[in-house]
Amino acid sequence: MTPSDASAGASAGRWSNLDRPPLNAAALQRALVTGDGLWTSLEVVAATGSTNTDLAARAEGLPEGAVLVAEEQTAGRGRLDRSWVAPARSGLFFSVLLKPGAAVPQERWGWLTLLAGVATATGLSRAAGVDTGLKWPNDLLVTVDGEERKTGGILAERVADGVVIGIGLNVTLTEGELPVPAAGSLALAKATVTDRDPLLRAVLRSLEQWYGNWRAAGGDPASSGLQETYAAGCATLGRHVRAELPGGRTLTGTAEAVDADGRLVIRTAADEHEAVGAGDVVHLRSVH
């Protein structure tokens, strides 16, 4: 085999699925790592266990704004250590390093998960023409054939001097490739764009804008517009829900608000209000 034959073979392998071309790392770096914005580096790897695990391990020696993207995750994680697995190049799997520092009191850092949800939803709305809802606290929802389905999730992890935020998003998964029937993808939701390069640019630019506004406001969710925008896009509010809380306790009622601390306020059948800061929320039905 000549060198040109070997090169052609490698190229064919790299592009073996023409519907799922690899990300253009050089073009993404030129577009996003500009020297005067939030993003300071952007690396694309072919495969890894978890971008969150990798970036968290390197966070102490990196400046804010590092981005790590994987074409495939073999051990991707969601909340409660649930696995997140999808075919190579079928979605966006990436993590970013944010270091709010003294500009934002640490008790407000919990808003970063909700902020990432708002930024992803607004970025996708602009770039892909698809309405993306938010399920408290960290799921991204799309509508497929009139049914609400999860197409993405967000996982935030504290590191020594900041937070690593991981975002996983199903882009071109087909019905047969879905890990569970309740999952969805942008393609199944009839997005106008499924090219991952412009989608990643849109989400990262939206995240930069929302993070900048929130940080400039000292992390205040009200004055930065974050709390209002999250509530407007939150599919959980107004629903009858069951919250499965740490310690095995279950709370059922109507999700009425997201408070200033990012907690979900649930009104029980006894007309009592309880703010939930952590837990697994199940949508039961809309309240009319």
142-174: pLDDT as tens digits: 999 999 999 999 999 999 999 999 999 999 999
Q: How far is 20 from 254, CA to CA, in rounded Å?
A: 41
Q: Is 72 left (phi over 0), alpha (psi -120 to 50) or beta?
A: beta
Residue 287 has pLDDT above 80, yes or no: no
| 75 or 88, higher pLDDT | 88
One-letter amino acid for residue 146 of the chain: G
pLDDT score, position 13: 42
For residue 207, give the H/E element and its range: helix 196-216
237-286 has which CATH code?
A: 2.30.30.100
Please give the model's pTM, rounded to 2 decimal places: 0.91
Mean of the per-residue pLDDT values for the chain?
A: 91
- Strand partners of residue 286: 239
Task: Point out the least confidently predicted range of 20-24, 198-202, 245-249.
Answer: 245-249
Residues 6 or more apart whose CB falls under 8 angstroms from that of 286 comprise: 238, 239, 240
Give the full edge-to-edge strand order of the sheet including 147-159.
Answer: 41-45, 66-70, 91-98, 162-170, 147-159, 139-144, 133-135
Long-range contacts, stretch 79-82, CB < 8 angstroms, 24+ apart: 79/138, 79/153, 79/155, 79/280, 80/280
Q: Which two tokens stand for residue 29?
A: 């770096």
pLDDT score, position 19: 79
pLDDT score, position 82: 58
Ranges for all domains in the chain classified under CATH 3.30.930.10: 17-232
Q: How far is 202 from 123, CA to CA, in rounded Å?
A: 5
Q: For the chain, report the end-to-end CA distance as a whole number of angstroms.
A: 69
- Topology given in CATH for the domain delimited by 17-232: BirA Bifunctional Protein; domain 2 (3.30.930)
Classified as helix, coil or strand, 49 is: coil
pLDDT score, position 14: 43
Ranges for all domains in the chain classified under CATH 2.30.30.100: 237-286
Residue 2 has pLDDT above 90, yes or no: no
